[in-house]
Chain A
Amino acid sequence: MLTKKQAKIFFLGGTLLFALIFLGLSYDTVVSGLPANTHPENITEEVLLGRTIWDDKNCMGCHTIMGEGAYYAPELTKVYDRRGPDYIKAAVNFKNGGWAPNGRHMVEYNFTDKEAEGLVAFFKWVGEMNLNGFPAEPTIK
């Protein structure tokens, strides 16, 4: 059977090898692959404002985007296509305690017009990414 020394070499060698491959692939992704899929040139001031709000308000604490986040509220990757700008603006600025479709409460944000536009622009930008086929088209009719 394997000796302890051989086991150690397996551990150190394997770790080094796969860490290097991982770093190489990450480099390729960060400098070319990811930008090609996500259109960073379209990240305008407006998109960035929306992106900042997304972060500041922890929208990911209820929703998912690109399938990441929490599962209390709808997936928002394609919300721009699905609902359009007016619906989005109405949802985030719903008065009297915030929006509550089906009894699930969203926070009442009272964003300025500019901020609401920023969110819309952000969702539009996310919706245009190439996400390798996510979300999939429904298969059951």
Chain B
Amino acid sequence: MKYKSQKIAYYFFGLSMLLLTLQIVYGFIMGFAHMGYDGLHGLIPFNTASAVHKNLLVVWILSGFMGSAYYIIPEEAEREIISPKLAMLQFWALAIVGVIAIAGFHVGWWEGRKFLEIPRELDFLVAIDVVGFILLILLTLLKGKKQTTTAWVLTMGLAAAGLLYLPGMIFFDNLSMDSFFRWWVVHLWVEGVWELIMGGILAFLLIKLTGVDREIIEKWLYLIVGLTFLSGILGTGHHYYFTGVPEYWLLIGGIFSALEPLAFLGMTIFALQMYRKGNKKHPNKLAVTWTLSTAIVSFLGAGLLGLAHTLPQVNLHTHGTLITASHGHLAFWGAYGSLVFAMISYAMPQMTGRKIYDNRTGHLAYWLSNIGMLGMSISFAVAGIVQVYIERLSGKDFMIAANATKPHFFVLIICATLFSIGITYFIINFIKFGLPTDEALRTDDDYEALNN
């Protein structure tokens, strides 16, 4: 760690871990409900659990991104955050609005709009908080000694993500129109600007962990985010196919979304190549593992599982089934969950001075969570195939399909348990690091880390 204000990242990472834990609890509630055990229905009906699960996901990932930015931007721009006090205020505002939103979901204070269930009144507070965050980051960057490509890509990604939240706040009488603009948020986030954030964070991590020349890494970065937008913007069409839009979206959405995996493949090749080329091997094995894993599992979950159902001929039958949930889990986990984990694994030793680089707990966390999530994704996929066959292809009642998928949800719960044990180990390490401290401030720490 080079600057005191980088420590702010710690609070965002802590919040992230807390919300992830809660997200998992609600995941179990839904998993059991699918198996036929919905004893909590009176207290937490499925739609409450589902809104909580999806929003906690979005917020813990965003909190992880914000923490990453507070860590990366000072280091790249070579100066302290312009106002650490305001940054902490921004942190508390995020945490408080988050808690209110989640509590509200339990008493029906929400909007029925998947992933964006936060009610409009609160949306404004979220928007103000995000604008504050973006200003802090942007001004720090502008006033810094350097404006690197990595820092710009990350900052632009964050700013665009904030801007894209706005179309999701408009209300339309026409459900179809509502859905049209909801995808401007959800799709253009995960298959657009969040990939910029991902590219920026990965580039930073690779520069630190492999020692490859910045110029080479940043050239790749441009190419990858170029591919992202080339395919991802028009790829939005894969959510439009069957929602009341003109037919040309089938062709356009089909072609361009089928190209989207290229950007993820780009990230995979990029990370693996840089790792192979790198002359310095950073001793932080856990951070290296999570970084490479992000580049690989995102391709599996987003690229391959996305491609599997993105053509309109296939999507006609799989649209809105458990197949979608299979892809949704591995994509979010592989791309954005793992990315936050990689950043935490890298930054925590720097902020606390405790070198947990290569311990057993950390490796167990990695393997259990990834094997668990892969198993969950496979369980959802098998359940999805059963559902498509029974409900969509054979035209039988939904409930017949639902009963047939109960065994798959049993397997899902087992895999989810493995996943949760992995996450528990990760959090144990997180707690072991202790609090960040100014004693961890060393200007030459990277050099030192590389040479011990």
Chain A residues in the interface with B (C-beta under 8 A): 2-4, 7-8, 10-11, 14-15, 18-19, 21-22, 25-26, 28-30, 33-38, 40, 43, 48, 51, 54-62, 64-75, 97, 101-105, 107, 126, 129-140
A30→B222 contact, CB < 8 A: no
Could you say which of A71, A72, A73, A131 has the most chain B C-beta atoms within 10 Å of its C-beta? A71
Query: Does B414 sit within 8 A of A, measured CB to CB?
Result: no
Number of A-B contacts (CB under 8 A): 209
A66's contact among B36, B179, B246, by CB below 8 Å, is which? B179
A70→B111 contact, CB < 8 A: no
Query: Does B33 sit within 8 A of A, measured CB to CB?
Result: yes
Instruction: Write the chain B residue with the least CB distance to A130.
Output: B244
Q: Which residues of chain B come closer than 8 Å to A60, judged between CB atoms?
A: 47, 112-114
A18→B316 contact, CB < 8 A: no
Q: Which residues of chain A come closer than 8 Å to B58, judged between CB atoms?
A: none
Could you say which of B175, B218, B247, B322 has the most chain A C-beta atoms within 10 Å of its C-beta? B175
Q: A28-B246, A102-B402 are in contact. Are A18 and B234 (CB under 8 A)?
A: yes
Q: A54-B175, A61-B48, A136-B317 are in contact. Are A67 and B242 (CB under 8 A)?
A: yes
B219→A2 contact, CB < 8 A: yes
Q: A18-B229, A58-B117, A61-B50 are in contact. Are A4 and B246 (CB under 8 A)?
A: no
User: What's the nearest-Cβ distance from chain A to residue B36, in Å?
Assistant: 5
Q: A4-B219, A66-B179, A102-B402 are in contact. Are A34 and B246 (CB under 8 A)?
A: yes
Q: Which residues of chain A come closer than 8 Å to B208, judged between CB atoms?
A: none
Q: Which residues of chain A come closer than 8 Å to B325, judged between CB atoms?
A: 71
A59's contact among B47, B48, B321, by CB below 8 Å, is which? B47
B399→A104 contact, CB < 8 A: yes
A43→B174 contact, CB < 8 A: yes
Instruction: Write the chain A residue with the least CB distance to B230.
Output: A14
Q: Which residues of chain B come closer than 8 Å to A25, judged between CB atoms?
A: 234, 248-249, 252
A61→B46 contact, CB < 8 A: yes
A134's contact among B215, B230, B242, by CB below 8 Å, is which? B242
Q: Which residues of chain B come closer than 8 Å to A34, judged between CB atoms?
A: 174, 176-177, 180, 244-246
Stretch at the interface among B15-23, B351-359, B387-395: B387-395
User: What's the nearest-Cβ distance from chain A to residue B267, in Å?
Assistant: 15
Q: Which residues of chain B come closer than 8 Å to A135, judged between CB atoms?
A: 392
Q: Which residues of chain B come closer than 8 Å to A4, judged between CB atoms?
A: 149, 215, 218-219, 222
A107→B45 contact, CB < 8 A: yes
Instruction: Write the chain B residue with the least CB distance to A105.
Output: B41
Query: Does B173 sit within 8 A of A, measured CB to CB?
Result: yes
A140→B394 contact, CB < 8 A: yes
B395→A38 contact, CB < 8 A: no
B179→A103 contact, CB < 8 A: no
User: What's the nearest-Cβ distance from chain B to residue A21, in Å?
Assistant: 7
Q: A10-B223, A11-B222, A48-B173 are in contact. Are A68 and B179 (CB under 8 A)?
A: yes
A136's contact among B174, B229, B316, B389, by CB below 8 Å, is which? B316
